[in-house]
Amino acid sequence: MQKAVVALESTVISHGLPYPRNLHLAQEMESIIRGLGANPATVGVIAGEFIAGLSPAQIEHLATAQNVRKVSRRDLAIVAARQEDGATTVATTMWIAQRAGIQVFATGGIGGIHRHTGAGVSSDVSADLQELAQTGVIVVCAGAKAILDLPATLEYLETHGVTVIGYGSDEFPAFYSRSSGLPVDVRCDRGEEVAAIWQAKRRLGLPGGLLVAVPVPVADEIPGAEIEPAIGQAVAEAAAQGLRSAEVTPFLLRRIAELTGERSLRANLALLRNNARVAAEIAVALAKMN
60 is catalytic: no
By CB neighbour count within 10 A (0-12 exposed, 13-18 middle, 19+ buried), where does 270 fall?
middle
Find all residues with CB under 8 Å of 230, minimum gap 6, and list them: 255, 256, 259, 260, 264
Give kind and range of the element (H or E) at residue 41: strand 39-46
Q: Quick one: residue 245, left, alpha or beta (phi over 0 = left, psi -120 to 50 = alpha)?
A: left
Set 9, 131, 171, 221: catalytic member: 9
User: For residues 19 and 35, what is the distance between their CA atoms, to the nearest angstrom?
Assistant: 24
Where are the alpha helices (H) located in the chain, listed in sequence order? 11, 21-35, 56-64, 76-82, 90-99, 127-134, 150-159, 191-203, 224-240, 248-259, 263-289
Give kind and range of the element (H or E) at residue 51: strand 49-52
| C-beta neighbour count of 286 within 10 angstroms | 23
| C-beta neighbour count of 51 within 10 angstroms | 18
Set 30, 60, 131, 145: catalytic member: 145
- Cα–Cα distances (Å) from 107 to 6, 8, 269, in that order, read 10, 6, 11
145 is catalytic: yes
Q: Which residues are catalytic?
A: 9, 145
